[in-house]
Structures are given as C-alpha cells and as structure tokens.
Amino acid sequence: MKAIPKRNLLMADGVSGTDVIGWLTSSKGAFAAVAALVALLVGLKTLVGPAVARRRAAREAAGSLRLIQVDIGTLYPWQRSRELRFQVSNAGRSTCVLTAVRLRVTASRESEQERHTIAGAPVQVHKYRIELEPDKTEYDVRSRLFSPAEPPLSVAEGETEAFVVKLISQLPRWYEIVISLDWFDTKTPDETHCLTSEPLEADFPQDQHDSGSTPWQELQLLRDAMKRQEEQAP
C-alpha cells in the first residue's frame, strides 16, 4: 500500500488545510481556542497555587535577622584599640537562634598613617575583646579564653541585641573586616543561615611620639579626648 504524504493526510480525510485555518480564524474557532487556554491556565493555577501559597506563608512567618547600627569607633591617642559596635535585630515573626558571631578579616596591610600619642588612663575592659593578628583571618567573637563558651543567643520576634567588640592591634596595620552571623529559625532548625555585613575599615596607624608637648598639654589633650568619648557614648 502506497504511503500518503503527511501534507495530504488532512485532504485524505476529507478535510483540507484551508478548512482548518478557516475554522480557527472564525468566531467559533477563536472562542474555542480561548476557552481551551483559560481551562489550561485554571488547571495550572489549581495545581501550583496551593504550593506557592504555602511557600509565601512560610516566608512571612519565618524569622529574619538584620545587622544594624554597624560602626567602628575612634582610635584615641592613648590606646591601641577601637570599639566595633553593632546590633542584631529580628524583623521576622519567629524566634531565631544565633549560634555563632564571627569577625572575618578580608584584607590587611601595614598602616600608611601616623598619629601623635599621649599617655593616658588604662583602657576600659569591654564585653568582647579581639586582638587582631596579621596572619589570622577569622575570630569567634563570643568565645572565652579562660571560661566555657557562651551558649547560642535567642533573639525573639521584635527584639534587638547590641554588641560591643574591642578591636586591638599592637602592630600598625590597616584591616578590612566583616561581621558574620550563623543562625537558624526555631520553626525550621535544620535550615542554617549566614548573615554578613558590608566591609568595614579599621586603621591602626604607626605611633609617632610627640616629645615637644608639655605634661600639662598632654593632660589637657587627654581630658578633651575623654570628654568627646563620653559625648559619643550611647
């Protein structure tokens, strides 16, 4: 039996291509096509809609940590430390558990600046303290040298936790650092998240002792600097 070419199949069944095109372009054909398309879209919405709604509801109900008020304080003439301050705020609708707070050095080099130094009072001890080293790039902010590590920190909905980290550099170096937080939502404890701040610069210039100042001038400079520090304190 001789095969009928594909282009002649419609004609072999008594229907020409012109007839099909004519029916599709007619009002009945166009209405049928639109109806089929609407039915397809309704079917897809019925299948996909509930899953999308569940994912949206889960996102809206989840916890969401934010890093705010990030700042590196002033380096005063009588010390080799800066205070890194930041806050962690939960803007979501579920409790988040902060499992790690790290400081990462993303760049470092010798400081190109110089500063005048004066003698001053002992540096105040703050809640967290990190001594920066040229060859070290990651520090656990909440670790303790001579005591057990602190447990994870829970941040409930709407709460904000403030941190003050004293950064110390005995060497004259410039650092670029970021804050890195590991956390999870108590509703989905198996899903871990990492929140990282924008890069921050911390410069510790080379000390240049000013031997031309009198003790009275040095004392006055110290008092002025301490007054500015008190005014800037939160």
CA distances from 40 to 33, 110, 173 (A): 11, 66, 65
- Compute φ and ψ for 133, nearest 5 degrees: -125, 140
Angle between helices 27-61 and 17-24 (to 10 degrees): 60
187-196 pLDDT, tens digit each = 999 999 999 9
173-185 and 96-110 strand pairing: antiparallel
Of 204, 202, 231, 193, residue with least CA distance to 67? 193
d(CA 166, CA 148): 20
Q: Where are the domains of the chain?
A: 9-61, 65-232
Mean pLDDT computed over every residue of the chain? 75
Reply yes or no on domain 65-232 having CATH 3.40.50.620: no
Res 78: pLDDT:
67
Name the more confident of 180 and 93: 180
Mean pLDDT of 123-133: 69
CA 107, distance to chain mean position in Å, is 18
Res 195: pLDDT:
93
State the pLDDT confidence band at 108, using cuts at 50, 70 and 90: very high
Name the more confident of 144 and 153: 153
3-52 pLDDT, tens digit each = 545 455 444 455 555 655 565 566 666 666 666 776 776 666 676 556 65
Mean pLDDT of 226-234: 66
Assess contact for 88 and 98: CB atoms under 8 A: yes
Res 174: pLDDT:
94
Res 10: pLDDT:
45
State the pLDDT confidence band at 126, using cuts at 50, 70 and 90: very low
